[in-house]
């Protein structure tokens, strides 16, 4: 057996959305912070807009963070200051999409300190693997899918596949996801709306009725299958996302789920994507989430493993390997 990951206390910076607004019951970033604190790691919290690149030095204006698993009193901050992020062992890149130019710019900035400071996930690979585009490298695992801005192409796609889903490429949380059935006369208006709101193309996908039985969120840690939760849509709702009324439930992994994970795992590991969440409906892969995956609290609440601990074990390995390669023992 390999030796256990190092128990050395780490300096950890977390780039995330405002912590006062999170719902700690299901927030994966909060689970990671709780586990880091339990291990004795130092936590420094800052917002994405607090980054400054001054010459070759990447700084962030933030605060020391303490967390507590208690709704309404879940955090305390102190000692506001500016820190050189290259002095940290780890930076958690955990703000939610939209995956816009602000997000992309932050990955360029963080890339300047990685991997000497381990950024999780690898900022270059986060930038190069947007959830609804990189998944197209695995089209044999997916339902029929098109990326386009053309109404004529969308109409032809619906003629071939009947029931379809239309969604933006860079949204999150089920926002602006529409189901258009064969006889729906709103398709033209919807495409026109998407053409007006979004400069980029959008995604059109065959609707899979298996979603009524749930949309599985499967977590992989450093390319290895870690856990799964099923998200079942509310009655009358197409989307299974929990914050729009979906219900979390325990579920068993199928042979097909394991096949999909086996296909993706080596590439996730190669790319330095330590924390990844994939979405599977029926037998079909629909998304690979690498920007700010979630689901680990719900998995543990429904009898699954402590994935936050698994992620920190993987991070400890990476930090330890980096120190050895740098000649620090």
Peptide bond into 121 cis (omega under 30): yes
What share of the chain in percent tops pLDDT 70? 95
Q: In the predicted model, what is the mean pLDDT of the chain?
A: 93
Whether the pLDDT of residue 193 is over 90: the answer is yes
pLDDT classification of 114: cutoffs 50, 70, 90: very high
Is the fold of 11-123+310-325 the same as that of 210-304? no
Say how far apart CA 268 and CA 125 lie, in whole Å.
9
Catalytic positions = 132, 167, 217, 231, 239, 279, 287, 289
pLDDT classification of 21: cutoffs 50, 70, 90: very high
- CATH code reported for the domain at 144-207: 3.30.1490.20
What share of the chain in percent tops pLDDT 90? 86
Whether the pLDDT of residue 325 is over 90: the answer is no
Residue 113's φ and ψ, nearest 5 degrees, are -110, -10
Helix or strand holding residue 227 (H, E): strand 224-232
Between these two residues, 174 and 133, which has the higher pLDDT value? 133
pLDDT tens, position by position, 23-50 = 999 999 999 999 999 999 999 999 999 9
* pLDDT of amino acid 212: 92
pLDDT tens, position by position, 151-166 = 999 999 999 999 999 9
Tokens of 198: 């979004």
Of 209, 225, 210, 290, nearest to 260 by C-alpha is 225
Whether the pLDDT of residue 268 is over 60: the answer is yes
* pLDDT of amino acid 187: 97
CATH 3.40.50.20, applies to 11-123+310-325: yes
pLDDT classification of 176: cutoffs 50, 70, 90: confident
* pLDDT of amino acid 296: 97
* pLDDT of amino acid 155: 97
pLDDT tens, position by position, 82-106 = 999 999 999 999 999 888 999 999 9
Tokens of 114: 């990685």
Say how far apart CA 141 and CA 205 lie, in whole Å.
13
pLDDT classification of 3: cutoffs 50, 70, 90: very low
Q: Where are the alpha helices (DSSP H) in 51-186?
A: 101-111, 123-128, 131-134, 151-161
Q: Where in the chain are the domains?
A: 11-123+310-325, 144-207, 210-304
* pLDDT of amino acid 188: 97
Peptide bond into 126 cis (omega under 30): no
* pLDDT of amino acid 327: 55
pTM to 2 decimals? 0.93
* pLDDT of amino acid 171: 77
Q: Specify the fold of 210-304.
A: D-amino Acid Aminotransferase; Chain A, domain 1 (3.30.470)
Least confident of 149-158, 233-242, 255-264: 233-242
Of 239, 172, 196, nearest to 188 by C-alpha is 196
């Amino acid at each position: 057996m390999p030796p256990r990951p190092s128990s050395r206390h780490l300096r950890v910076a977390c780039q995330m959305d405002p912590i006062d607004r999170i719902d700690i019951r299901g927030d994966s970033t909060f689970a990671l912070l709780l586990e880091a604190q339990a291990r004795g790691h130092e936590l420094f919290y800052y917002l994405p807009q607090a980054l400054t690149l001054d010459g070759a030095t990447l700084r962030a204006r933030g605060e020391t963070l303490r967390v507590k698993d208690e709704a309404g009193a879940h955090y305390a901050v102190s000692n506001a200051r500016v820190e050189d992020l290259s002095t940290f062992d780890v930076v958690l890149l955990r703000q939610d999409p939209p995956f816009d130019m602000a997000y992309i710019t932050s990955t360029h900035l963080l890339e300047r300190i990685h991997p000497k400071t381990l950024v999780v996930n690898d900022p270059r690979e986060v930038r190069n693997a947007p959830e609804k585009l990189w998944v197209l490298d695995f089209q044999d695992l997916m339902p029929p899918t098109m990326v386009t801005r053309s109404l004529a192409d969308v109409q032809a796609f619906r003629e071939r596949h009947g029931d379809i889903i239309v969604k933006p490429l860079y949204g999150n949380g089920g926002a602006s996801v529409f189901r258009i059935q064969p006889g729906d006369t709103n398709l033209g208006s919807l495409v026109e709306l998407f053409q007006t709101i979004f400069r980029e193309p959008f995604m059109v996908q065959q609707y899979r009725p298996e979603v009524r039985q749930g949309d599985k969120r499967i977590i992989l840690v450093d390319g290895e299958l870690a856990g799964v939760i099923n998200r079942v849509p509310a009655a009358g709702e197409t989307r299974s996302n929990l914050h729009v009324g979906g219900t979390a439930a325990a579920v068993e992994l199928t042979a097909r789920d394991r096949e999909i994970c086996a296909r993706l795992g080596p590439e996730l590991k190669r790319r330095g994507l330590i924390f990844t969440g994939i979405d599977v409906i029926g037998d079909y892969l629909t998304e690979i989430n690498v920007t700010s995956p979630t689901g680990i609290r719900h998995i543990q609440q429904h009898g699954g493993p402590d994935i936050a601990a698994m992620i920190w074990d993987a991070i400890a390995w990476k930090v330890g390997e980096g120190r050895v390669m740098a000649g620090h023992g």
